């Protein structure tokens, strides 16, 4: 080609404009063609700019008046060079000039005069309009591109020029796909599938293997888009098949960057499939595809494509990490996102930078959920807030709303770990901001998800406040969510919100004297269990059973009978069939603790000791995982309640062994419930110890235990007076009086 350029330039030394103007113009046109072909193969734009200059020189003599068809041919060629230049530049000036050049050509290249040339220019015009349309927010240019391609197909028929027909069908598919991505329906995407499949009727693997592979890749892209909008996996499976077909010809050896692009696309489809399946095989395949792509999509060669694949790799690793108990995959996801941000800078690609910041926030939040500290959660909040600097409400309102929702989730998790309410208040504000764009009319399911999340934050706030206003707001948010999160549309999400509603109603019910709210909570949990089945989501089923047990137990304590308490025991025991010690040890311990409480309450209402014995077993089971080192206050609460159950047992038995065990448990609780940390509980435990000592003292001839009981009561009384716990003072003074009377009687 360089020799051709040199030859044309040599020819121009004799073919001067003055001597042979048309030959000079013809040679300028030919020089432009050679320069353009060279420019398409080089990374800079110098050759393409020279080609544009050559074509424009040719047009000075190849005028429309003198040689109309040659003028039109050169206008078409000029359009081609301008279009290639425009594809490499960030603004649209060159592309607009290309459109003008093609439209000029069509004034002489009419369908009647030169039908195939007219079709070629219509196809080229479509290409320029499509590239322009991809850079503009509206769809007018894309619709013009579709019209241009369809016009071209009026002459580029399959019978006359089968390969040109196939090329234009492929181009038509591209424009329809871009249009379809911007529309809510799937009609344009379906038309794109039809266009690509038509192209493959002539673009066969045997005849034009690389064109066949290109169209297979394009077909995969539109099938993937369709699959994202459908609930099933059929389209995604077809997309995977199309990408794998393309890789049969797009080999790493032959076309390394095309191979890498298709590997990246294959990873996207496998990731979406993996998100919808319970296993991890598809996600592992996606990670492998992205890592393969990065072998050729290197940072040095194609930095922005490398960054895009790093971002995609992060997505797949994050989804894998969410399904695994460890944090290794999530940490790899964070590393991938941070790598992407090295090239996806705010200055170069602000919206892509913001997308990756949002994704990084998601991975950091997941990591933070699994770690005891707050460092990762703080980083997640920072990442979301960074994303919002470019993902503004004005520019990308729905993406802004998504990030506001994500920010709310991270702030809520932080707030749950802090004693104050500032973070929870910020979470509420973030969710309410998101709802400004996530409206019920525009995105009903996203609106419902954010309402559910808002309910969660309000419930947490309500737990920490003495009033019920926040809890009432939480109930309202959950009920709003259920208007769109219907059982028919999203059964598992409906069940989740029913469970959350139950939790808020239960908290309200615990603060009210009646049982109406608790009854509603029971109904909500039972509704959740109709979709959260043990077979489908065993751990969620166990959680709902546990929550149901809590509501029934609270109801049972307010009623005189034992029916509700018996139902609570059944619910807790159901939860423990899936909340096993091996799988979720801390949840298992919590359920054992609550089971112990309910059995203890039942035991106090029954004359026998069976339920109390079962309560002791449950508490001791809980203590095997709720250790003092791991969860000191939960351990102390369990020791406290274990002591109470043992004491009740001891009162009903003739010996003193149970009472001694009760005192040991209560004294163990005192090691964490110190007088400095929790004076009221410390004093109550002293009362419990005193009571056990009284019962032991009654059964022994000496007065030692009774004297210890009097001392315990006096310590309790001093503390009650100190903290002004008036309701405890007189009963404790009475206990001291009774013990002192017993001691006096013994001494006589």
Residue whose structure tokens are 């419990």: 688
On the question of pLDDT at 43 being above 90, the answer is no
Q: What is the pLDDT of residue 409?
A: 97
pLDDT digits (tens, 9 = 90+) for 234-276: 999 999 999 999 999 999 999 999 999 999 999 999 999 999 8
The whole-number pLDDT of residue 425 equals 97
What is the mean pLDDT of the segment spanning 557-566?
94
Mean pLDDT across 678-688: 96
Model pTM? Answer: 0.83
Alpha-carbon separation of residue 92 from 42, 97, 346, 396 (angstroms): 21, 9, 21, 21
Is the pLDDT confidence value at 719 over 90?
yes
Q: Is 371 a residue whose pLDDT tops 90?
A: no
The predicted pLDDT at position 372 comes to: 82
Separation of alpha carbons 81 and 89, rounded Å? 13
Percentage of the chain surpassing pLDDT 90?
92
Mean pLDDT computed over 203-222: 97
What does the pLDDT average to over 625-649? Answer: 96
Q: What is the dihedral of CA 637, 640, 646, 651, to 10 degrees?
A: -140
Q: Interior CA angle at 545 toward 540 and 551, to 5°?
A: 130
**pLDDT surpassing 90 at residue 1:** no
- Report how far residue 240's alpha carbon sits from residue 267's, in angstroms, rounded to the nearest whole number: 9
Q: Is the pLDDT of residue 108 over 90?
A: yes
**pLDDT reading at 185 higher than 90:** no
- Nearest by Cα to 231 from 193, 192, 273, 267: 273
- Which has more confidence, 289 or 323? 289
The mean pLDDT of 5-11, rounded to a whole number, is: 95
Interatomic CA distance for residues 410 and 369, integer angstroms: 9
pLDDT of residue 419: 87
* DSSP state letter for 349: -
Please state, in angstroms and rounded to a whole number, the distance separating the CA atoms of residues 494 and 197.
39
Q: With contact defined as beta carbons under 8 Å apart, do 173 and 209 qualify?
A: no
Average pLDDT of span 294-309: 96
Provide mean pLDDT across the span 382-390: 97
By three-state DSSP, how is residue 141 classified? helix
Reply yes or no on whether the pLDDT at 180 is more than 90: yes
Predicted local distance difference test score (pLDDT) of residue 7: 95
371 φ/ψ angles, rounded to the nearest 5 degrees: -110, 155
Distance CA 572, CA 72 (A): 83
Q: Which range among 44-48, 719-723, 730-734 shows the weakest confidence by mean pLDDT?
A: 44-48
Q: How far apart are CA 578 and CA 585, in angstroms?
A: 11
Please tell me the distance from the alpha carbon of residue 154 to that of residue 36, in angstroms, as a whole number.
Answer: 29
Count of CB atoms situated within 10 Å of the CB of 515 = 16
Return the SS3 of 278: coil
Average pLDDT of the chain?
95
Model confidence pLDDT, tens digit, residues 493-543 = 999 999 999 999 999 999 998 999 999 999 999 999 999 999 989 999 999
Q: How confident is the model at residue 373 (pLDDT cuts 50, 70, 90)?
A: confident
Q: How far apart (Å, rounded) are the C-alpha atoms in residues 115 and 58?
A: 24
For residues 245 and 243, give the distance between their C-alpha atoms in angstroms, rounded to a whole number.
5
Residue 219 pLDDT grade (very low, low, confident, very high; cuts 50, 70, 90): very high
DSSP 439: -
What pLDDT score was predicted for residue 188? 96
At 661, the pLDDT band (50, 70, 90 cuts) reads very high
Output the pLDDT for position 4.
94
Position 451 scores a pLDDT of 98
Instruction: Indicate whether 277 pLDDT > 90.
Output: no
What is the band of 130 on the pLDDT scale with cuts at 50, 70, 90?
A: very high
Between CA 741 and CA 361 the distance in angstroms is 68
Return the structure tokens found at 282: 């598809």
């Amino acid at each position: 080609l360089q020799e051709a350029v040199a030859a044309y330039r040599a020819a121009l030394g004799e073919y001067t404009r003055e001597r042979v103007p048309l030959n000079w113009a013809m040679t300028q046109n030919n020089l432009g063609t050679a320069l353009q072909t060279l420019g398409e193969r080089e990374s800079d734009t110098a050759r393409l700019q020279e080609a544009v200059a050559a074509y424009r020189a040719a047009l000075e003599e190849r005028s429309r008046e003198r040689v109309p068809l040659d003028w039109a041919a050169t206008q078409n060629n000029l359009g081609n060079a301008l279009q290639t230049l425009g594809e490499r530049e960030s603004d649209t000036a060159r592309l607009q000039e290309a459109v003008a050049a093609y439209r000029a050509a069509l004034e002489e290249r009419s369908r009647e005069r030169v039908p195939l040339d007219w079709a070629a220019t219509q196809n080229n015009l479509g290409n320029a309009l499509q590239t322009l349309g991809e850079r503009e927010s509206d769809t007018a240019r894309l619709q013009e591109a579709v019209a241009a391609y369809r016009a071209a197909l009026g002459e580029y028929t399959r019978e006359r020029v089968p390969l040109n027909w196939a090329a234009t069908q492929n181009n038509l598919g591209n424009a329809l796909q871009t249009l379809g991505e911007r529309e809510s329906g799937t009609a344009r995407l379906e038309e794109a599938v039809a266009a690509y499949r038509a192209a493959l009727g002539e673009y066969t693997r045997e005849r034009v293997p690389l064109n066949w592979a290109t169209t297979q890749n394009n077909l995969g892209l539109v099938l993937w888009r369709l699959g994202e909008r459908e609930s099933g996996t059929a389209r995604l499976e077809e997309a995977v098949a199309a990408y794998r077909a393309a890789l049969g010809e797009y080999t790493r050896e032959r076309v390394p960057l095309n191979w890498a692009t298709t590997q990246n696309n294959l990873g996207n489809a496998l990731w979406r499939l993996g998100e919808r399946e319970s296993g991890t095989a598809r996600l592992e395949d996606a990670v492998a595809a992205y890592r393969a792509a990065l072998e050729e999509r290197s940072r040095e060669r194609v930095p922005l494509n490398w960054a895009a694949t790093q971002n995609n790799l992060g997505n797949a690793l994050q989804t894998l990490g969410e399904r695994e108990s460890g944090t290794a995959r999530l940490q790899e996801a964070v590393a991938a996102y941070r790598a992407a941000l090295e090239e996806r800078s705010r200055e170069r690609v602000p919206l892509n930078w913001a997308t990756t910041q949002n994704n990084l926030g998601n991975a950091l939040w997941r990591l933070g959920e699994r770690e005891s500290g707050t460092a990762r959660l703080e980083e997640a909040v920072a990442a979301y807030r960074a994303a919002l600097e470019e993902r503004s409400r004005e520019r990308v309102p729905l993406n802004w709303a998504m990030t506001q929702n994500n920010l709310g989730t991270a702030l809520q998790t932080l707030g749950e770990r802090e004693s104050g309410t500032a973070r929870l208040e910020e979470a509420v504000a973030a969710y309410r901001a998101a709802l400004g764009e996530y409206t019920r009319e525009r995105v009903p399911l996203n609106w419902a998800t954010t309402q559910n999340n808002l309910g969660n934050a309000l419930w947490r706030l309500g737990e920490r406040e003495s009033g019920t206003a926040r809890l009432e707001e939480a109930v309202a948010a959950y009920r709003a969510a259920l208007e769109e999160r219907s059982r028919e549309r999203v059964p598992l999400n409906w069940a989740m919100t029913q469970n959350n509603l139950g939790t808020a109603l239960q908290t309200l019910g615990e603060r009210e004297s009646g049982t109406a709210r608790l009854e509603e909570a029971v109904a909500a949990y039972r509704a959740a269990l109709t979709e959260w089945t043990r077979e489908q989501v065993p751990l969620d089923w166990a959680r709902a059973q546990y929550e149901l047990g809590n509501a029934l137990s609270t109801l049972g304590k307010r009623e005189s009978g034992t029916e509700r308490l018996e139902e609570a025991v059944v619910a807790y025991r159901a939860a423990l069939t899936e909340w096993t010690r091996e799988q979720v040890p801390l949840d298992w311990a919590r359920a054992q603790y609550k089971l112990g409480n309910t059995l203890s309450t039942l035991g106090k209402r029954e004359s026998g000791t069976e339920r109390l014995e079962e309560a002791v077993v449950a508490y001791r089971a809980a203590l095997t995982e709720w250790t003092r080192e791991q969860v000191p206050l939960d351990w102390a609460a369990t020791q406290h309640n274990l002591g109470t159950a043992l004491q009740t047992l001891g009162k009903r038995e003739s010996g003193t062994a149970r009472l001694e065990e009760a005192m040991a448990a209560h004294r163990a609780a005192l090691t964490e419930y110190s007088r400095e940390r929790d004076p009221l509980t410390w004093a109550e435990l002293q009362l419990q110890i005193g009571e056990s000592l009284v019962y032991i003292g009654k059964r022994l001839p000496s007065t030692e235990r009774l004297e210890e009981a009097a001392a315990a009561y006096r310590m309790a009384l001093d503390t009650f007076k100190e903290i002004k716990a008036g309701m405890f003072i007189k009963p404790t003074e009475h206990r001291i009086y009774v013990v002192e009377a017993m001691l006096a009687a013994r001494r006589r």
